[in-house]
Amino acid sequence: MTAAPARVTGYQNAFSALCDRRLVQSMYGECDVLLERVLLTLHGAAHAGRRAIEWKLFRRDFARYYESEVYPLTLSRTLAPYLKKGQVDLPEFGFRVNINLSADIAGIDRTAGSEEETDALVRLTRKFSEGATLFHSTRDKDTVREEVSAALAEFDHRFLAPSKRRREVTLNNIASGVAVEEDMPRDILSVLLANRDEQDLDDDMILREVAFFMQAGAHSSANALTHSFHEITQWCQTNPEDAERIKTDDAFLQQCLHESLRLHPASPVAWRKANEAFTLPDGTHVEADDNVLIDLMSANIETAIFGEDATSFNPHRVVADRIPAFGLTFGIGIHTCFGRDIAGGLGQGKEASQAPHYGTLTNLLKSLLQHHARLDPLNPPVADTATERANWGQYPLLIGAASTPQEIPID
């Protein structure tokens, strides 16, 4: 029988554990076919080296640029067919709109620009997400692994190979002086190809890393969008004054989002393995190879940090400056999420001249509210039974039609 893992609870203990280099990522070993040696599962020098070259893409100017220049167009294009139908399934929509973000970041060209092409990317990336969260799957794990392998092969042939060829031509042109560094697209695939010898990256490794980024950019955001819409809807039923405020006050809408992110971390726990014997901050001794479960949920609802009503949704909550309103939902320390600023936003810039940056999720919520998205009384939401994580499988909404003065067209 496997010994029960040491359990790290509370905000400060979880924070320290996530920053501790003696604890190695261990929740993703179930699906090596997708996650072997990708950024999320690397450790030590290999992780630091990969993270350093990839992190350059995610400088804060990128989050601002993406939100103001690229995302509005993607959002209005993706929303248009749903507005025509008058219906939208929120997890599906969230995934679909963010697949473009994922592909832009990962470095997957969409040459056809067709609905069918997007459908294929969504289908394949959803399969990668199922692989990445296999630890919590309720399906037969071998079957899921086979499906992930098949999806990787299809993705490689149809999407990665042509995207790679285009970048390799540019790299050769740079080497021969015909092109300059700036001609290279700014994405993960370009970074990997430019560093493949130095980082010892073979074709399979590049395939896994790009596929991992595809799912990282879409999966958690789609779930977060659905949870936040649900929390906000419930809150507004009992707080009608805030129902008006969320339509006009973007900063308040972002607060609502952060509050929901706090209550719904992508995974309620993070698993690590000790790589040497040592004592955890709460005094628990662990031996080398012992499992350690970091309880993120307990950190996010600690009353000493978030108040007596920490288990409830309250967008007016005030927390100390040093504590992010979303708690540890984007992780912290060694594996801190690359997409935190893009998805969650940064709020008002330090300089008055800077436009506030609210992040893709607040923007998504804003446009759903502007288009009067509301629960479909004939189709109640359904929980996702394919995972032990508390996510929504389907969340059908009616959208459009009811026109109020607050509604602003997005295109």
Shortest distance in whole angstroms from residue 31 CB to ligand HEM: 14
Shortest distance in whole angstroms from residue 118 CB to ligand HEM: 17
Shortest distance in whole angstroms from residue 291 CB to ligand HEM: 14
Query: Which residue, 83 or 127, is less far from ligand HEM as judged by CB?
Result: 127
Shortest distance in whole angstroms from residue 280 CB to ligand HEM: 16
Query: Cα angle vertex 340, ends 237, 167, to 5°?
Result: 130
Shortest distance in whole angstroms from residue 400 CB to ligand HEM: 26
- Asked if 257 interacts with ligand HEM (CB under 6 A), we say no
- Asked if 392 interacts with ligand HEM (CB under 6 A), we say no
Kindly indicate which of the ranges 86-94, 109-117, 313-321, 339-347 contains the residues binding ligand HEM, using the contact rule CB under 6 A: 339-347
- Asked if 399 interacts with ligand HEM (CB under 6 A), we say no
**Identity of residue 276:** E
Shortest distance in whole angstroms from residue 378 CB to ligand HEM: 29
Binding mask 98-137 for ligand HEM (x = CB under 6 A): -------x--------------------------------
Residue nearest to ligand HEM (CB): 339
Kindly indicate which of the ranges 155-163, 213-221, 372-380, 388-396 contains the residues binding ligand HEM, using the contact rule CB under 6 A: 213-221
Query: Which residue, 105 or 280, is less far from ligand HEM as judged by CB?
Result: 105
- Asked if 74 interacts with ligand HEM (CB under 6 A), we say no
Interface residue with ligand HEM among 224, 253, 256, 310 (CB under 6 A) is: 224
Shortest distance in whole angstroms from residue 292 CB to ligand HEM: 12
- Asked if 159 interacts with ligand HEM (CB under 6 A), we say no
Interface residue with ligand HEM among 7, 22, 51, 317 (CB under 6 A) is: 51
Residues that bind ligand HEM (CB under 6 A): 18, 25, 39-40, 51, 105, 213, 216-217, 220-221, 224, 266, 270, 329-331, 335, 337-339, 342-343
